[in-house]
Structure 1
Amino acid sequence: MTLATRIQEWVEPRAEEMAELLEKLVALDTENPPGRGLGQCAAYLYEVMDRFGFAPEIIELAPHDQLEEPRVVQGRVGDGPRLVYFHGHFDVVPAQSRAQFTAERRNGRMYGRGTADMKGGVVSMLYGAAAARDLGLLGDGSIVFHLVCDEETGSDASSGHLRRAGLIDTSALAMVTAEPTGGVIWHASRGALTMRVELRGTEAHVGQAHLGDNAFQHMVNVAAPLNALAKELLEKRTAFPMEDEAAKGSMMVVGGASGSGVNFNAVPGSAWFSIDRRFNPEEDVDEEIERLSTLIHSAAEASGTTASIEIVQRQPSAGVDRAHPVARLLAGSVAEIEGTAPPFELCPGILETRWYAQLGMPAFGYGAGRLDVSHGPGEYVDEAAMRRCAAVYAMFAAKAFA
């Protein structure tokens, strides 16, 4: 009997257990923003991991924005010195309907908020680690869990805390996160830069508009060259593989959020807009900040005003060579379970892998969910794919600790 068969024969009889756990996780409303119910979900995950014998620990975090009882759930499987991190998040994006918090099973799929991104992935990781332990595959290694609570809003409170507090062991062999890759391995991800740009004017009653200085008009004038740059960036191409050629462009959205803060019957004295930049691994974040800042200040001066710029988010890109030995181990694990070698691709967004990659650790995204249904009203995960993914995680642990 092959190892792949042994692992799958351990996982498959637990199909109903896995589905029941996912149903219970979906029912816990952890919408972020605002970040509700995080403490309750962390407590439940602690109970689940304790039943598994994973030595769980709750790491309480400092208050952050609107997050309710922000927590990280940490656990460990095995007692060997060599480490692999299984990283997941239990917050979800806001639902389109409250009905999404009642999981529904249809035609081999589980529908509901977070099934794909990524409570289904958390279930796969838990059962994958349990399979690796029960089948004696850990050798001299250990799997360490980090389940975080604010990935959907940047993860600075949770993953950022792990990094700042030195709770990520830089000698670990690898990190894997169960993002909804649909069977693809994400070996790289974009970086993120978010700016808030405010333009100043002079407020005045609309009946005496000649006495005012319209900040909204200044905003339009400053946004124009930025929109032109966004089109130019979209024509660039990353060397990293992606299924959609058009998605290889370097992304920037101008005005994803904006406002003037005054009533309709007044000339606005201030106006602001956002810039959301997703840059490819070949691009440097400091160079992007300098380029955008120079363009903004120049356009504001030409419009006859000044601009203030706030850096709201600054996250680096991350990438691992597909030829890296750990990348080959993960790809080989997928091939043995799925029967075909997986493609490697650049994630179109940012990933939790960045917190580990910054420490020199090979880090990857791989999960059963699909990105094209994540965050949408019909979000689902294929239950058989979720079980195969658990088997992949167990196989990867076996290979890593061989």
Structure 2
Amino acid sequence: MRNQVNAWLDERVDEMAALLVRLIAVDSENPPGRALGQCARILRDAMENLGLGPEIIDIAAHQELEEPSIVRGGVGSGDRLLYFHGHFDVVPAQDRRQFTAVRRDGRIVGRGSADMKGGVVSMLYGAAAADALGLLGDGRIVLQLVCDEETGSVAGAGHLRAAGMIDPRAVAMLTAEPSGGSVWNAARGALSLHVNVRGREAHVGQADRGVNAFRHLVHIARPVFDYAEEMAGRHTDFPMDPDDATGSMLVVGGRSGGGSNFNVVPGSAFFTVDGRYNPEEDLDGELKRLTGIIEQAAAEVGADAAIEVTQRQPAAGTAATHPAASALGRVIAEVEGRPARFEMCAGILETRWYDQLGIPAFGYGPGRLDVSHGPSEYVDEAAMRRCAAVYALYANEMLS
């Protein structure tokens, strides 16, 4: 069966490359989220040609997203359901030339090649191969491609969840994130805060009449740094890449500012807190604890501080011993010729939207995290085909 899948994919090497080159040429940078409708239409046409029955679902306006939409399709008609999930927005480029793909030495170089337009192409061809070769048994694959993963996925995957378009009875979900050959069976949760401190402006000549918001900010931020250091020392039990820190990670002051001029007591100041929390942590409990630390510090100096929670996304995790994980491991070992590696992703993944409904969910794609978002982002064409083979064979394993 593996040989049949490989032969089917090998006949379509240039097709897969050509589609990826077309997708890279669309500068679907997010933020701000431009050219999303154009990218969606290219995907719809490609899926139509592959017999994947696509539709474009328009979604509500969100921030600056241009023509926000979801591309949805699938193959098969049985009761057992497997989700392939991906995104077609990309992070901003360092150079506009990154939107002109270069195909050389078995690689395709360009913005989004690794994260994750190359993976999307692998999913489309994996699903088509499973259908063409009769691997779906009594089951079906549903493909769901969203437009806003790089800015939190609230509009895209959030719409899928709110509209009841994620069936909790599904046997599993795969997303083609750039895992570099590993399986990401877990991912951190996220908490983001915006802390605004209000004071009272006064000219430097009358500084005694002002209330210095910046001074209050410094006092408030100090214990937040202590909290971040404590969380970094609380390690996960999930295996991780050896180069990744195993504690929960927080950035304090990623954005900060305030004041109106150098000679005016600042009447306002702000800073942000952005955290990635290990699955073992109680996200709601940590949110309560973190806001409590800020509120207590503000009370100590009589500061007027307001806290806005700008992101709250739960962690996700499926045990490597889960039957759906074991099946994926077997398929990867067959295709790659080596045992599958299960690791926790250091960031957050859209697996969380499915995990919350009890669906075993995994990140596995052809790209590499260490080149994603960088100036020389690329994907190996051979890795794209291997992942497509894994997707097709995993469908057979889970649906037959």
The answer, yes or no, to whether TM exceeds 0.5 is: yes
Q: Distance in 1 between matches of 2:386 and 2:136?
A: 19
The answer for the alignment partner of 1:17 in structure 2 is: 15
The answer for the alignment partner of 2:323 in structure 1 is: 325
* SS across alignment from 2:49: helix
The answer for the alignment partner of 1:189 in structure 2 is: 187
Q: Distance in 2 between matches of 1:130 and 1:151?
A: 24
Q: Distance in 1 between matches of 2:106 and 2:52?
A: 29
Q: Offset at 1:167?
A: 0.8
The answer for the alignment partner of 1:265 in structure 2 is: 263
The answer for the alignment partner of 2:381 in structure 1 is: 383
Question: Is 1:278 the equivalent of 2:276?
Answer: yes
The answer for the alignment partner of 1:42 in structure 2 is: 40
The answer for the alignment partner of 2:4 in structure 1 is: 6
Amino acid at match of 2:250: M
Question: Is 1:180 the equivalent of 2:178?
Answer: yes
Question: Counterparts of 1:139-150 in structure 2 under 5 Å?
Answer: 139-150=137-148
Residue by residue over 1:201-238, the C-alpha shift from the partner in whole angstroms, topping out at 9 and shown as x without a partner, is 11112332222111111111111111121112112110
Q: Distance in 2 between matches of 1:206 and 1:115?
A: 53
Q: Offset at 1:263?
A: 2.8
* SS across alignment from 2:14: helix
Q: Percent identity?
A: 62
Aligned equivalent of 1:163, options 149, 153, 161: 161
The answer for the alignment partner of 2:133 in structure 1 is: 135
Higher mean C-alpha displacement, 237-246 vs 151-160 = 237-246
Point out where structure 2 has 5 or more consecutive residues left out of the alignment.
Answer: none
The answer for the alignment partner of 1:399 in structure 2 is: 397
Higher mean C-alpha displacement, 231-240 vs 113-122 = 231-240
Amino acid at match of 2:200: T
The answer for the alignment partner of 2:314 in structure 1 is: 316
Aligned equivalent of 2:303, options 302, 305, 315: 305
Aligned equivalent of 2:218, options 217, 220, 232: 220
Structure 1's consecutive aligned runs of 4 or more residues displaced over 6 angstroms after TM superposition are none
Contact 1:190 1:280 in 2 (8 A): yes
Question: Counterparts of 1:199-278 in structure 2 under 5 Å?
Answer: 199-244=197-242, 247-260=245-258, 262-278=260-276
Residue by residue over 1:301-355, the C-alpha shift from the partner in whole angstroms, topping out at 9 and shown as x without a partner, is 1222121111100000010011100001111111110001111000100000000
Higher mean C-alpha displacement, 176-185 vs 256-265 = 256-265
Q: Offset at 1:246?
A: 5.3
Q: Offset at 1:245?
A: 6.5
Contact 1:191 1:315 in 2 (8 A): yes
Q: Offset at 1:49?
A: 0.9
Residue by residue over 1:6-60, the C-alpha shift from the partner in whole angstroms, topping out at 9 and shown as x without a partner, is 1111111211111110000000010000000011111111111111111111111
Contact 1:7 1:131 in 2 (8 A): yes
Contact 1:297 1:306 in 2 (8 A): no
Question: Counterparts of 1:73-88 in structure 2 under 5 Å?
Answer: 73-88=71-86
Residue by residue over 1:246-269, the C-alpha shift from the partner in whole angstroms, topping out at 9 and shown as x without a partner, is 511111110111121523332111
The answer for the alignment partner of 1:287 in structure 2 is: 285
Q: Distance in 1 between matches of 2:207 and 2:99?
A: 50
The answer for the alignment partner of 1:350 in structure 2 is: 348
Aligned equivalent of 2:362, options 361, 364, 383: 364
The answer for the alignment partner of 2:152 in structure 1 is: 154
Aligned equivalent of 2:371, options 370, 373, 391: 373
Amino acid at match of 1:211: R
Q: Distance in 2 between matches of 1:386 and 1:163?
A: 28
The answer for the alignment partner of 2:92 in structure 1 is: 94
Q: Offset at 1:244?
A: 2.0
Residue by residue over 1:58-96, the C-alpha shift from the partner in whole angstroms, topping out at 9 and shown as x without a partner, is 111111011111000000111112110000000000000
Contact 1:179 1:366 in 2 (8 A): yes
Q: Distance in 1 between matches of 2:13 and 2:206?
A: 70
Q: Offset at 1:4?
A: 1.3
Q: Distance in 2 between matches of 1:265 and 1:188?
A: 50
C-alpha spacing 1:120/1:271, structure 2 compared with 1 (3 Å): same
Residue by residue over 1:240-298, the C-alpha shift from the partner in whole angstroms, topping out at 9 and shown as x without a partner, is 00122651111111011112152333211111111101100000111011110110011
Q: Distance in 1 between matches of 2:358 and 2:64?
A: 32
The answer for the alignment partner of 1:61 in structure 2 is: 59
Q: Distance in 1 between matches of 2:257 and 2:62?
A: 24
* SS across alignment from 2:274: strand
Please, what TM-score do these two structures have when normalized by structure 1?
A: 0.98
Amino acid at match of 1:183: G
Question: Is 1:26 the equivalent of 2:24?
Answer: yes
How many residues are matched?
A: 400
Point out where structure 1 has 5 or more consecutive residues left out of the alignment.
Answer: none
CA RMSD of aligned residues (A): 1.0
Q: Distance in 1 between matches of 2:173 and 2:133?
A: 21
Q: Offset at 1:133?
A: 0.7
Q: Distance in 1 between matches of 2:331 and 2:323?
A: 12
